[in-house]
Amino acid sequence: MSYTIWILFTAALVGINCGLVGTFLVLRKMSMLSDAISHSVLLGIVGAYMVSHQLQGVSMLIGALLVGLLTTFLVQLLHQKGVQSDAAIGVVFTCLFAIGVVLISLFADRVHLDVEHALMGEIAFVPWDVLEVGGKSIGSKAVWLLGFVLAINIFVIVFAYKELKISSFDSEMAVTLGIPVVFIHYVLMGMLSLTTVASFDSVGAILVVAMLIVPSATAYLWTDRLSVMLICSALIGVLSSVIGYMGATAFNVSISGAIAVATGVLFFISLWIAPKHGLLRKWLKKSPA
Amino acid sequence: MNPLVVEQVTVAYDRQLVLEDVSFSVPEGKLVGIIGPNGAGKSTLMKAMLNFIPRMHGNVFVYGKPYEKQRHLVGYVPQRNSVDWDFPTNALDVVLMGRYGHIGLWKRPRKEDVDIAMQCLDKVGMLPYAKRQISQLSGGQQQRVFLARALAQDASVYFMDEPFVGVDAATEKAIVQLLNELKMRGKTVLVVHHDLQTVRDYFDYVLLLNKRVIAFGETESVFTYDHIQKTYGGKVTFLSAAHIVG
Amino acid sequence: MAHAALPGICIAFLLYGQKSLLVFLIGAACSGYIATVCIQFIVKHTRIKEDAAIGIVLSVFFGLGIVLLTWINQHEGGNQSGINDFLFGKAASLTGSDVNVLTVTAITMITTILVFFKEFKIITFDRAFAQGIGVPVSLLNGVLMFLIVSVVVIGLQAVGVVLMSALLITPALAARYWTEKLEWMMWLAGGFGALSGVAGAYISLIAYVPTGPLVIIFATMLFICSFLFAPKRGLCSKMIRRYIQRRTLRAKQLYKRGEQA
């Protein structure tokens, strides 16, 4: 496959993964946690490197998962003890991120990892970093990683659809029905951590946040069904990747930045023309015909 | 065996006791109104019984066993504003959520669950709105969807937090009808209520609450001028209290 | 907030052509203001809630900032301009003139706050009331916003975009545990910030580790200590109070039972 197609494929996979997980974040009003986890995951990657001495898929996933859950746990702990939740998120993730940066700088000479890379990503290098089995190249590492995480995400969403739905809509009711609401929260945060770390390498922390929240919020303007919203937001994610990539190559600027801008443009357009919740329709309705 | 026995429930926020030593026991098939001024701890009592907030002391028994073991017997109708009605789902889906306890974890709703949900919607007069997005329902209609969900749960004891707040006359009538139907079927219902005028008409039992139990018992004997005065700390004037007690 | 300032700084650079703190400040203030307006617009006119609206606006603005930054690097020789430092911060390489700017800012900050303290207090606590008694709310709000933006822009150079928000939040949060008074909270927060700054910079000198993150780690440690051990509001004293409360309750109940028997 050609260079361009690999990049588009990677970006599309990021779009689908983020769209699926992001939908639940937006509905549960936890967008801030995505910002937090996308940063603190850095510590997980560094930690995984210190333990396993490699920057390989599986150990990175485990490291990110652990730190993601740790972030969730600390935020909840502070919140329970009376700290406002956005302040709690702010304190926890900046601290974990800072520890991550310090560790990187201590081992910097040996790790191929820098903060700039982490924030902005290097999707342009994805096609050259290939996975080899028995001496034969079977495609980009990032794509395999993203595909693996996508499989997990789809599995969880299909399997626990009704639990995710009720605990997002009415968590008190869910508790009285005996649904393990806290467990589900952690599962979702685990999915978020995996998605973040898999996307991280290609698109960087900032774009992950854009890809998680913006397409889901855009989909929220288009539909009134949860299942449709999930699919819509994945599609919008893919669309933004394609538009963003084309824009970036045309103007020779950062691909991940351009994709983030593309999500914003799609959101802005939807804000006006979405059929049920778009502003144009609302205003047309208000003004006497 | 009484369906609900509450023993010495005490709840404290940081420095203050919000509920002190609340004990009462409800016989089967009764409609119980929980009455008290703002800040008396009515909703807190409900949440403490359901373990949403930790009890500092005390126990709640449902049909003789601790609540934790009898969750499936208890249905809860939260205050309408406790959820986000912009959630992308329709009325039928919300009612179907009431069946989740019966469907079991990780399984999908079956045809019969959908049928039951439809019947419940019909009972509250909301069948025509089954496919309507929930944010497009009026306040009263949303409340009726919540009630239909509780019906679909098919519990034995129901806790309802302010179901009559901000609803239209038709919905109020529908709720009263529903309460009576539940009573006929031997269900026990606790309702947090604030409209003193209607207490006599709606409830068999009342719990007058102001941080502690002021009085509990059959409406006829407990809902008296003295008790109301004591609960509301003299905030109810003589005239209106006399009017309410009739 | 810090994220939203980036495109403004870049556009200011593109228009003005060279690095200038004042121009950057104006650019940052403009894009920060536009971002706030966008967030409010989305929350008011759609079903999207505040947290998602903030996420949307900030991440898209930041994306735009990065696009502009890469554009500048390719077309204008931006690497020499030091505009990249706004992303990650370069406390160690600050020059004498930068320090002068920081000092002037700090002094301006303190005097403005001292002069308008009463007014700031009332518009933060109860805006409608302040308007009612004739305080020029929008003007003062503008001044407050301007102060925040200047701190962000200047701080960005020193510690970078991520850690900036930590420096704004963490010391203030830590201070909240020690006092119920805004005056004290403000001085304490400033003190905590200064303390973490000094400690972070010192360790960074001996250990060859970047300054920004160390400062944040120190600030967080101060927060944890406050959270656990502060009198009255701290976790430990809360737990002790709870324990005493439980004991008195039990004693009361025993007494009651004794009376009944």
Q: Is C107 left (phi over 0), alpha (psi -120 to 50) or beta?
A: alpha
Map tokens 């996975």 to a residue.
Answer: A131
Tell which A residues from 137 to 176 touch C, by Cβ distance under 8 Å.
none
The pLDDT of residue A22 is 94
Closest residue, chain A, to C235 (C-alpha) = A81
A238 found inside a domain: no
Query: What angle is formed at CA A181 by the lines to CA A178 and CA A184, rounded to 5 degrees?
Result: 125
A283 found inside a domain: no
Is the pLDDT at A128 greater than 80, yes or no?
no
Higher pLDDT, A56 or A71: A71
Asked if residue C85 lies in contact with residue C20, where contact means CB atoms within 8 angstroms, the answer is no
Check which CATH number belongs to the domain holding A41 and give it. Answer: 1.10.3470.10
Share of chain C above pLDDT 90, in %: 5
Q: How many CA atoms lie within 13 A of C190 on its CB side?
A: 11
Based on the structure, what is the number of domains in chain A? 1
Q: Which residues pair with B133 in a beta bridge?
A: B90
Band of residue A205 on the pLDDT scale cut at 50, 70, 90: confident
The complex's ipTM works out to: 0.85
List the single residue in C88, C169, C235 with the smallest CB-CB distance to A91: C169
The predicted-structure confidence for A59-114, as pLDDT tens digits, reads as follows 888 888 999 999 999 998 988 887 888 888 888 988 998 888 888 777 755 555 55
Residues in chain B predicted with pLDDT less than 50, given as ranges, are none
Q: Which two tokens stand for residue A11?
A: 């970006």
Closest residue, chain B, to A80 (C-alpha) = B53
The predicted-structure confidence for C49-75, as pLDDT tens digits, reads as follows 888 998 899 889 988 988 888 888 777
Q: Do A176 and B94 touch (CB under 8 A)?
A: no
Domain boundaries, chain C: 1-88, 91-159
Tell which B residues from 137 to 176 touch C, by Cβ distance under 8 Å.
none
A279 found inside a domain: no
The pLDDT of residue A183 is 93
Amino acid identity at C41? F
The pLDDT of residue A267 is 95
Alpha carbon of A154: minimum distance to chain B alpha carbons (Å): 14
> What's the domain range around A95?
3-212
Higher pLDDT, C20 or A284: A284
The pLDDT of residue A186 is 93
The predicted-structure confidence for A142-188, as pLDDT tens digits, reads as follows 888 889 999 999 999 999 999 999 999 998 888 888 888 999 999 99
DSSP B133: B
Identify the chains in contact with B, defined as 3+ C-beta pairs within 8 A. A, C
**Least confidently predicted of A15-19, B172-176, C257-261:** C257-261
Share of chain A above pLDDT 70, in %: 85
The set of residues, in sequence order, having a beta carbon less than 8 Å from that of C253 and lying 6+ positions away, is B8, B21
**Maximum pairwise Cα distance, chain A:** 71
The predicted-structure confidence for C25-56, as pLDDT tens digits, reads as follows 788 888 888 888 898 889 888 889 888 998 89
The predicted-structure confidence for C4-22, as pLDDT tens digits, reads as follows 778 888 888 888 777 677 7
Asked if residue B98 lies in contact with residue B116, where contact means CB atoms within 8 angstroms, the answer is no
List the single residue in B10, B86, B135 with the smallest CB-CB distance to C249: B10
Q: Do C67 and A264 touch (CB under 8 A)?
A: no
Average pLDDT over residues C249-261: 75
Q: Do C253 and B15 touch (CB under 8 A)?
A: no
Q: A interface mutation test: which of C11, C38, C60 has the most A CBs within 10 A? A: C60
A28 found inside a domain: yes
Q: Which two tokens stand for residue C153?
A: 């822009």
The pLDDT of residue A244 is 92
Average pLDDT over residues C197-209: 82
Average pLDDT, chain C: 80
Q: C interface mutation test: which of A37, A74, A261, A265 has the most C CBs within 10 A? A: A261
The pLDDT of residue B176 is 92
Give dist(CA B129, CA B145) in Å, integer. Answer: 10
- The reported pTM is 0.86
Q: Which helix (H) or strand (E) holds C220?
A: helix C211-229
Its CATH architecture, for the domain B4-82+156-245, is 3-Layer(aba) Sandwich (3.40)
Burial B132-144 (b: 16+ CB within 10 A, else e): bbbeebeebbbbb
Using alpha carbons, select from C54, C22, C52 the residue that is nearest to residue C35: C54
- Is B66 in a helix, a strand, or coil? strand
Per the document, the length of chain A is 289
Q: Do C245 and B56 touch (CB under 8 A)?
A: yes
Cα distances (Å, whole numbers) of residue B209 to B29, B39, C240: 21, 10, 29
Give dist(CA C10, CA A46) in Å, integer. Answer: 31
A176 found inside a domain: yes
